[in-house]
Amino acid sequence: MNAAGLDRDQWLSAIEKIATALGPTGRPIRLCLIGSVACVFGGMAARVSRDLDVWKPASDYDLGELKRAVEEAGLLFDPKTTLDPLKPYVQLVEPGPTQVGIFEPLLVERIGRLELYRPPIEHLIASKLVRGDARDIEDVLFLAGKHHPDPEAVRAVAETFASPAKRQVLENLVYLKIADSEND
């Protein structure tokens, strides 16, 4: 891995190691991916990420079992104080500064007992528009170009967010108009 992060194939390999470490028996482990890795698995070829963001409200796992498997796979688990700049990590994300809204998760992949989900595209886009930094805007333009979401559906998701996140998304919806005009 370089300091920038893992690409799709490297994340897939890391996730396969987590699935192997979980073993074949027991309840399924359901992880809902948000953030950059959701874009990586959505086909954004050039995208890399150091972290795999797991949306806690839409995930189902045993904390100890997941922590053990992630660490056995060579990743940091939910670091809160310090990071190793060359070591990828799994981050558990709760509502707060990050907003995704309420949604029914969509299955992306199943590897052994490990099930990977993601929010609908409109929710991923709204979440990325909250922060709106350069990489998030690249992600939004990619997602919008590939999936052609209805801007009003993204607006409806944003309306469920608490302020100031809601205000940020509504201000940044202009990027969807840009993506839409580039696709015409």
Q: pLDDT: is 82 or 155 the higher one?
A: 155
Domain ranges of the chain: 8-119, 122-183
Q: Which of 83, 85, 120 is nearest to 101 (CA)?
A: 120
High-pLDDT (> 70) share of the chain, %? 95
Please state the rounded mean pLDDT for residues 6-25.
95
pLDDT on residue 4: 72
Please state the rounded mean pLDDT for residues 23-41.
93
Please state the rounded mean pLDDT for residues 156-184.
84
Residue 46 scores a pLDDT above 90 = no
pLDDT band of 27, cuts 50, 70, 90: very high
pLDDT on residue 91: 95
Residue 97 scores a pLDDT above 90 = no
Q: Which of 92, 111, 88, 106 is nearest to 147 (CA)?
A: 106
Residue 169 scores a pLDDT above 80 = yes
Residue 142 scores a pLDDT above 80 = yes
> Taking the complete model, does pTM exceed 0.85, yes or no?
yes
Long-range pairs for 145-154 at CB < 8 Å and ≥24 separation? 145/179, 145/182, 145/183, 146/42, 146/43, 147/121, 148/180, 148/183, 149/121, 149/122, 149/125, 149/176, 150/122, 151/176, 151/177, 151/180, 153/122, 154/122, 154/125, 154/126, 154/129
